[in-house]
């Protein structure tokens, strides 16, 4: 991802989530760790992104947000960008990755479990509408 992709990422974020991250937050996440933020293109158009960061002390990476434009879902793009992120996390020396996912997001949970993430806890009232999230962690092989 490059700095001038921030607006497009924000647009996809807004289309994908009921409580999207704001443009300023996306900007801050990007500059926190540009090496852990990715976009995926199809026909020279950005169709998805993954915003990541890290916690240096714990050598842990964090997936803040991931989304693929609706018309491009179910085509393997989500898995591809996640695998790329996990590979990069490992190359940078991180030992595990965490993320939060809505307990109702069965599709995303299935994808994460397929890639080795495990549910470690349930975070009550994580989202603005007071619904719950699962905390999922994957250890680097």
Ligand X SMILES: CC(C)(COP(=O)(O)OP(=O)(O)OC[C@H]1O[C@@H](n2cnc3c(N)ncnc32)[C@H](O)[C@@H]1OP(=O)(O)O)[C@@H](O)C(=O)NCCC(=O)NCCS
Q: Which residues bind ligand X (CB under 6 A)?
A: 16, 66-68, 73-79, 101, 105, 107-108, 110-111, 114
Helices (H) and strands (E) in the chain, counts: 4, 6
**Which residue number, 6 or 50, has a Cβ lying nearer to ligand X?**
50
Shortest reach from residue 47's CB to ligand X, in Å: 9
Closest CA to 23 of 42, 40, 3: 3
> 109: closest CA among 132, 125, 92?
132
Q: Which residue's Cβ has the minimum distance to ligand X?
A: 78
**Partners of 114 in beta bridges:** none
Instruction: Closer to ligand X by CB, 75 or 91: give it.
Output: 75
Would you tell me how many other CB atoms lie within 10 Å of the CB of residue 41?
A: 11
- Alpha helix segments (H runs only) across the chain: 6-16, 23-32, 77-91, 106-114
Considering the complex, state which of residue 29 and residue 56 has its C-beta at the smaller distance from ligand X. Answer: 29
Which phi and psi angles does 44 have, rounded to 5°?
A: 65, 20
Could you tell me the CA-to-CA distances from 52 to 10, 71, 110 in Å, in that order?
Answer: 14, 23, 20
Taking the complex as a whole, the smallest distance from the CB of residue 32 to ligand X amounts, in Å, to 18
Q: Which is nearer to ligand X, 19 or 44 (CB)?
A: 19
Nearer to ligand X, 86 or 101 (CB): 101
Distance of closest approach, residue 45 Cβ to ligand X, in angstroms: 15
Q: How far is the CB of 84 from ligand X (least distance, A)?
A: 12
CB of 31 to ligand X, least distance (A): 22
């Amino acid at each position: 991802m490059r700095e001038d992709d921030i607006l497009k990422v924000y647009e996809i974020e807004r289309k994908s989530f009921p409580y999207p991250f704001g443009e300023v937050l996306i900007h801050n996440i990007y500059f926190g760790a540009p090496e852990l933020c990715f976009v995926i293109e199809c026909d020279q158009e950005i169709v998805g992104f993954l915003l990541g960061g890290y916690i240096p002390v714990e050598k842990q990476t964090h997936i803040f947000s991931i989304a693929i434009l609706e018309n491009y879902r179910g085509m393997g793009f989500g898995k591809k960008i996640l695998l790329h992120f996990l590979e990069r996390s490992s190359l940078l020396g991180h030992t595990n990755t965490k993320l939060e996912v809505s307990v109702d997001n069965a599709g995303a949970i299935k994808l994460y479990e397929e890639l080795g993430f495990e549910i470690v806890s349930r975070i009550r009232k994580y989202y603005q509408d007071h619904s719950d999230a699962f905390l999922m962690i994957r250890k680097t092989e």
